[in-house]
């Protein structure tokens, strides 16, 4: 029987269980164990992808959880911890001769053994396999080939952002410059774009869109996520859903309004003034950061006939005006998880816990009707 599940496939590990950095810019309390606890107990995420699982210390932490009975490997791939299934992934940076700039690529594998073999392979092709998003000294197609030959999933990460992405830096016009289009399982939109924007790029028609948090802190888990229809929570069910096989599919993408993204508009990189010129009229700087919206305009070509799931604008619950730490805890205590608050709690139930103005904000978040001040140049947009 099919059920729907909430899924976020792009979460970093800030520190390993020895306290050593994995994602250097990640929060110190963003450990593998804390991620699965937060996902299961507070966020209400049914499946999470940790994309620093190539780190040997992270693998040791997973093995420890399995040894003490806190986690178990599933026959269909993935690792169950309480109410959440962990998908093992790795974010890899490629900058080969075919790339115009660095590209970040997501590689996922069904088993811990698969990931250990991947780490051993990577150790011969990068300087430090223990750290996140490291440079891969090989080609993007070589990486794709390895992933597909070892039962993995391959997804270009945050593909429109100005830095370290497929369309932001990696290619001039088409993904075929860098990647084999037949070896892509889905594409990740990133925080500064949505379905309507991506649909203007015709060559993306074959691929499912995924919306993920790219979380560097526990609070940012599920700032973007999707609802996926599957029979059960396993890696193989996820694979089928990304390829829309036998009724499995993404039902809804939930993500930030692109205006909230820190690279939505083209701005001066020095003073953040909005500009369409080669230099800033305000301060004279020639350091211009091209926004995602303008980059997509350059990429427009062809059409898409594919019917896409709805894209619902959301932000983390704690970002809403009026929801400070105490109010957030009060809501979690009453409704158990963010997913229950955002998707299940009725207006009447919410009004018994928080003020009418906060209820109105939650409902506008649920319905995707928030007003946004746009961001750009590395500064996030804001909820009005």
CA gap 44, 38 in Å, rounded = 8
CATH homologous superfamily, domain 3-256+302-313: Metal-dependent hydrolases (3.20.20.140)
Helix (H, G, I), strand (E, B) or coil at 228: strand
Which of the four pLDDT bands, split at 50, 70 and 90, describes residue 376?
low
Q: Which fold would CATH assign to domain 317-367?
A: DNA polymerase; domain 1 (1.10.150)
Q: What residues does 312 pair with on adjacent strands?
A: 254
Which of the four pLDDT bands, split at 50, 70 and 90, describes residue 378?
low
Nearest to 255 by CA among 10, 40, 44: 10
Stretch(es) of the chain classified as CATH 1.10.150.20: 317-367
CA gap 268, 282 in Å, rounded = 9
* Residue 84 backbone class (left: φ over 0; alpha: ψ -120 to 50; beta: rest): beta
The number of beta carbons lying within 10 Å of the beta carbon of residue 139 is: 16
pLDDT(368) > 90: no
Give a three-class secondary structure readout of 72-91.
EECCCCCEEECCEEEEEEEE
**Model pLDDT for residues 3-53, shown as the tens digit of each residue:** 999 999 999 999 999 999 999 999 999 999 999 999 999 999 999 999 999
CA gap 238, 290 in Å, rounded = 34
**Model pLDDT for residues 203-257, shown as the tens digit of each residue:** 999 999 999 999 999 999 999 999 999 999 999 999 999 999 999 999 999 998 8
Stretch(es) of the chain classified as CATH 3.20.20.140: 3-256+302-313
Report yes or no: 184 and 155 within 8 Å, Cβ to Cβ: yes
Q: What residues does 167 pair with on adjacent strands?
A: none
Q: Which two tokens stand for residue 157?
A: 């990460």
Torsion of Cα atoms, 103 then 25 then 73 then 84, to 10°: -110
The percent helix, strand, coil of the chain (3-state, each to 5) is: 30, 20, 45
Which of the four pLDDT bands, split at 50, 70 and 90, describes residue 284?
confident
The number of beta carbons lying within 10 Å of the beta carbon of residue 129 is: 18
Q: Which two tokens stand for residue 357?
A: 């103005």
Helix (H, G, I), strand (E, B) or coil at 319: helix
Which of the four pLDDT bands, split at 50, 70 and 90, describes residue 367?
confident
């Amino acid at each position: 029987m099919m059920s729907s599940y909430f899924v976020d496939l792009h979460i970093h590990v800030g520190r390993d269980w020895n306290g050593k950095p994995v994602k250097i810019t990640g929060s110190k309390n963003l450990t593998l164990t804390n991620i699965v606890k937060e996902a299961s107990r507070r966020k209400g995420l049914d499946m999470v992808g940790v994309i620093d699982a190539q780190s040997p210390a992270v693998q040791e932490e997973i093995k420890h959880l399995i040894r003490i009975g806190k986690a178990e490997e599933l026959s269909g791939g993935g690792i169950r911890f309480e109410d959440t299934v962990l998908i093992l992934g790795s974010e890899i940076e490629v900058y080969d001769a075919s790339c115009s700039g660095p590209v970040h690529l997501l590689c996922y594998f069904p088993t811990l053994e698969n990931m250990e073999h991947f780490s051993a392979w990577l150790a011969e092709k990068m300087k430090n396999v223990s750290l996140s998003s490291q440079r891969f000294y090989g080609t993007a197609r070589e990486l794709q080939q390895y992933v597909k030959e070892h039962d993995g999933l391959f997804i270009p990460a945050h593909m429109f952002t100005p830095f370290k992405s497929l369309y932001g830096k990696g290619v001039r016009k088409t993904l075929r410059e860098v990647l084999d289009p037949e070896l892509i399982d889905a594409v990740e939109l990133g925080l500064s774009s949505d379905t309507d924007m991506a649909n203007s790029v015709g060559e993306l028609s074959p691929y499912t869109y995924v919306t993920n948090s790219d979380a560097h802190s526990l609070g940012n888990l599920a700032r973007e996520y999707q609802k996926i229809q599957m029979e059960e929570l396993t890696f193989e069910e996820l694979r089928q859903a990304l390829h829309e096989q036998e009724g499995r599919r993404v039902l809804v993408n939930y993500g930030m309004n692109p205006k909230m993204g820190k690279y939505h508009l083209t701005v001066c990189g020095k003073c953040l003034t909005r500009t369409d010129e080669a230099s800033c009229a305000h301060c004279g700087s020639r350091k211009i950061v091209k926004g995602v919206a303008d980059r997509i305009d350059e990429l427009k070509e062809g059409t898409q006939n594919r019917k896409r799931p709805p894209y619902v604008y959301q932000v983390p619950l704690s970002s809403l005006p009026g929801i400070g730490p105490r109010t957030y805890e009060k809501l979690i205590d009453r409704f158990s998880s963010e997913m229950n608050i955002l998707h299940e709690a009725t207006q009447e139930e919410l009004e018994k816990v928080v003020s009418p103005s906060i209820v109105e904000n939650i409902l506008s978040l649920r319905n995707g009707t928030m007003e946004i001040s746009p961001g750009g140049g590395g500064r996030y947009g804001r909820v009005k």
